[in-house]
Structure 1
């Protein structure tokens, strides 16, 4: 399908998806959400893609809901719009490929929710994060937010509607690393390319494992991890990668 609000680029097993609605601050209209749902669903089964980078560019990520669209809704006519939001969220959250979010500017309300659905979040110093739903008489998404930053912090984010800068987001564990303005996309591209060199199935099952263990008791989680580890250790690819690593270490010792 043609994409009017997303730019897709695939290079070296990395797909970069860029929100492209600059005149509206990359706000989320039904058309934007449908494109997100469709593209992430498609990329999740693309054999040429190992890792996905999701971004709005160096300037901003997404201002959130398209308020003009929401203002037209009534309680009796909101079902399709709400379903579409959650279909877009789930397409990212449960995409078989790891999704890295590169946040170059404000990620607010629905834009914040999109970053929450990604596996790893990196930000530039320009980035800002916040759930403003409470200020609009809307209930915000708490899960998976609480799994990322803990329930206490998640309650603060949800109930205060406060906007957090990139440093605060990093300190609370929401963002993994903050890059200088203008260096975000190149830095994240390097990280993604390194990840994309790993075994595709192992990447996929490691992401699935991160979802599974969150709902297990400790004993159950350990059993799942033991079984999965056993299914990979000793494989041909495992042996090849060990040989490559040992060769790299030997070369470094000679330097």
Structure 2
């Protein structure tokens, strides 16, 4: 197992079987997002994109929170231009996460508020402990979500529910968030990481090429007319059949054995 410097804002662990864990490591501030954390997350995801051993990534927080929004102590002194620049830096990170070829799982071990929830929204899966609360409370501070929440949330929970969350700033508990489809799975807090790692290992055993193709089709076609989406799907299917994993997967099925997919 490889572990990065524990003093860093983001700890990177390779826990084996194709699974990496990124942990935001500022528990005293409830992992509130700042420029340092955003930059270190960019560096971590960039490194993962170049590694054959990073097939699935778990993203979580140390302590009592996943990430309790942006660092308000920094935001309060921002000029409009500085606020917009910080927002754009967040866009770059979240677009990197959304566009990664690997599945990314947000493991919500505690509060996921504001920018923290927006970070989770950019991931492919969101797993949560039973006691978790999520919200986009920026309206209560006289601002709006600035890391893509106004764009990603409606595509996940629908326009009406996104308005409910964003215009009121109210918190949802894990059960309501699960019911809305905002969270995929809820576990007891003491089993959250174990269950998330188990799920990640199952995913990591699949074809990395097929996972990347499926993710690319789903993300790139969600706002397109069906006919355009079908063409994107058709092209991606062709890429799958050009990769050795397609033959291996189908042969394994016919031979009643587990497939041995390539690691890249």
2:237 is equivalent to residue 221 of structure 1? no
The alpha-carbon distance between structure 1 residues 93 and 236, as it changes in their structure 2 partners (threshold 3 A), is: closer
The alpha-carbon distance between structure 1 residues 244 and 58, as it changes in their structure 2 partners (threshold 3 A), is: farther
Q: After TM superposition, which residue ranges in structure 1, 4 or more long, deviate above 3 angstroms?
A: 76-80, 233-236, 245-249
Residue 161 of structure 1 is matched in structure 2 by 169
Which of 220, 236, 244 is the aligned partner of 2:252?
244
1:39 CA displacement:
1.3
Structure 1 unaligned blocks of 5 or more: 250-255
Partners in 2 of 1:239 and 1:75 — Cα distance? 54
Q: Deviations over 1:139-194 (max 9, x none)?
A: 22211111111111111111110100000000000111111121011101011011
Residue 69 of structure 2 is matched in structure 1 by 64
Partners in 2 of 1:230 and 1:77 — Cα distance? 45
Q: Deviations over 1:17-71 (max 9, x none)?
A: 0111111111112111111122112212222211111111574211111111111
Partners in 1 of 2:32 and 2:242 — Cα distance? 48
Partners in 1 of 2:92 and 2:239 — Cα distance? 32
Partners in 2 of 1:31 and 1:235 — Cα distance? 39
The alpha-carbon distance between structure 1 residues 59 and 248, as it changes in their structure 2 partners (threshold 3 A), is: farther
Structure 2 unaligned blocks of 5 or more: 258-264
| Contact residue 170 and residue 177 of structure 1 kept, 8 A | yes
2:19 is equivalent to residue 17 of structure 1? no
Residue 252 of structure 1 is matched in structure 2 by none
Map of 1:68-217 to 2, 5 A cutoff? 68-140=73-145, 141-217=149-225
Partners in 1 of 2:32 and 2:223 — Cα distance? 33
Partners in 1 of 2:35 and 2:62 — Cα distance? 21
Partners in 2 of 1:213 and 1:17 — Cα distance? 28
Partners in 2 of 1:31 and 1:52 — Cα distance? 20
Residue 262 of structure 2 is matched in structure 1 by none
Q: Deviations over 1:107-137 (max 9, x none)?
A: 0011111111101111110211000111111
Which of 15, 26, 34 is the aligned partner of 2:31?
26
